[in-house]
Amino acid sequence: MTQDVTIKVQNLKKYFDLKVGFFRTLTSKSVPYVRAVDDISFTIKRNEIFGLVGESGCGKTTTGRLLLRLIEPTAGKIYFKGLDLSSINNQADMRRLRRKMQIIFQDPYESLNPRMSIFDIIAEPLLIQKLTQGFEDTRERVAEVLEDLEMTPPEEYIYRFPHELSGGQRQRVAIARAFIIHPEFLVADEPVSMLDASIRSEVLALLLGLVKKHHSSFLYITHDVALARYICNRIGVMYLGKIMEQGNTEDIILKPLHPYTEALISAVPVPDPTARRSEVVIKGEVPSAINPPPGCRFHTRCPYVMEVCRKKEPKLIEVEGNRYLACHKYNA
């Protein structure tokens, strides 16, 4: 493992047990489970921004939480700078690890404790990690990170409560909270999708600025392919718990190889009424993750489906330089 790989995910799986009624547990042999994440692998290098793109229910949000150990994986391994995360089993080590990873959530209204002041919210990671040397030190660091996010003068914000700020301001506070402890790895789950379009770019710019300043690796989770193009160096396209295609963003967007990626890209609207687009030809909707289709997950909707697709699952293999694909059409 090279030194500049921050995150390495190998064959990660997460199955959620479904809650069923009392009698079903007695009568049925096994409890059904949702295969939210079903054997995915990828790496994120230092200073790299990796995007996980997909529609709802594809497992991207679950993956983000798995990387931060907010949920425990069912199987598979996650390595953070060479350290196997499943080997950490005491609280003290876990806490030290958490200092290096942070997450920013989608909903700016929910991710801030409504009863805490902005100052308390931003300073919280410092206090939990015991990284501060007293009040003045804390105050300075809060002011510093607020300046990075162009929320000055800090006094105007630190005494306020979340309900007094706008959506964009709240999200900046969430970003401030994530960066105050200088994390080496950051996960952002749709950080701007609930903000107005005209302020998204500004918030993203500030976020990316901080990522660069702290040389963090960044996992950006989104359903917005167009936005992923602007932010991510590399993306992975997820469908029903699996990564279908992975590689450099521009390559994938301009020349999608996997039929699903193709369909996804052609379905994304563009702000140009004169653009000629290829038609979306796939039909139907995403199947259930409790009983996913056998063989290739996408075969039920794929316009190029072949016999082998129904039986055998394609492996994610490298087809070109740094481009990975899981599709029988190309593996022939």
Partner 1 sequence: MVLLEIRDLKTYFHTMRGYVKAVDDISLKLNKGVSLGLAGESGCGKTTTALSILRLLPWNGEILSGKILFDGVDIVEMSSEQFRHQFRWKRISAIFQGAMNALHPTIHIGDQIAEAIVVHENVSKKEAIERTAKLLDLVGIGASRIDHYPHELSGGMKQRTVIAMALACNPDFIIADEPTTALDVIVAAQVLKAMKELQHKLNLSMMFISHDLSMLAEVCNKVAIMYAGKIVEYGDVVSIFKEPLHPYTEKLIGAFPSILGQKRKLSSIRGFPPDLLNPPLGCRFHVRCEYATDICRTTEPKMTDAKGTEHFVACHLKGV
Partner 2 sequence: MTTFLSKGKREIYSRKIKGFWKEFSHNKIGLFGLLLLLMFIGMAVFAPWLTPYDPLSNPRVAESFAMPQWVAILPQYQDYPQTMRISPYWEVRNGSEFVEIRPGREVEARFSMTGEMKLVVISLNTSFFYPHDVPPKRFTVLFQWRATNVTNVFYSAKLHLINPNGTSTRIWFWPYKGFSAGQSVIVESSDRWLLVDLGYTDPKAINLAHIIFANPTKGQYRLIFEAAFRPTEDAKIAEAKITIQTFEFVVPGLLHGILGTDAMGSDVFSQLIYGSRLSLIIGIMAAVISTSIGVLVGVVSGYLGGAVDEGLMRVVDILLCLPMLPLLLTLVKLFGKNVFYIIIFVAMFGWLGLSRTIRAQVLSIRETTFVESAVASGASKPYIMFKHLVPNVAPIALASLVLSVPAGILTEAALSFLGFGDPRVPTWGKMLNYAFGHGAFENFAWWWALPPGIAITLICLAFVFMGFAIDEIVNPRLRRRR
Task: Report the alpha-carbon distance of residue 202 to residue 181 in Å, rounded.
Answer: 22
Looking at the DSSP assignment, which residues form a beta bridge with residue 320? Answer: 323
From the list 18, 20, 83, 267, which residue makes contact with partner 1 (rule: CB under 8 A)? Answer: 267
Q: Does 221 interact with partner 1 (rule: CB under 8 A)?
A: no
Smallest separation (angstroms) from partner 2 to the CB of 329 = 40
Give the one entry of partner 2, partner 1, none that residue 125 binds, where binding means its C-beta sits below a cut-off of 5 to 8 angstroms depending on kind.
partner 2
244 in Cβ contact with 238 (< 8 Å): yes
Count Cβ atoms below 10 Å from residue 275 Cβ, excluding itself.
8
Alpha-carbon separation of residue 46 from 27, 50, 215, 243, 269 (angstroms): 51, 10, 7, 21, 32
Q: Does 268 interact with partner 1 (rule: CB under 8 A)?
A: yes
Q: Does 230 interact with partner 1 (rule: CB under 8 A)?
A: yes
Give the one entry of partner 2, partner 1, none that residue 156 binds, where binding means its C-beta sits below a cut-off of 5 to 8 angstroms depending on kind.
none
Give the DSSP letter of residue 131.
Answer: -
Task: Report the alpha-carbon distance of residue 253 to residue 233 in Å, rounded.
Answer: 12
Task: Report the alpha-carbon distance of residue 78 to residue 84 in Å, rounded.
Answer: 6
Q: Does 243 interact with partner 1 (rule: CB under 8 A)?
A: no
**Identity (one letter) of the amino acid at 309?**
C
Q: What string marks each residue from 49 to 78 as x (binds partner 2 by CB under 8 A) or -?
A: ----------------x--x-x--------
Residue 72 or residue 196: which is nearer to partner 1 going by CB?
A: 196
Taking Cα atoms as reference points, which of 27, 30, 4 lies closest to residue 17? Answer: 30
By the criterion CB under 8 A, which residues form the site for partner 1? Answer: 55-56, 166, 168, 196-202, 204-205, 223-227, 229-230, 250, 253, 263-275, 280, 282-283, 285-286
By the criterion CB under 8 A, which residues form the site for partner 2? Answer: 65, 68, 70, 91, 94-96, 98-99, 101-103, 105-107, 109-117, 119-121, 123-125, 127-129, 135-136, 138-139, 158-159, 161, 163, 167, 174, 177, 181
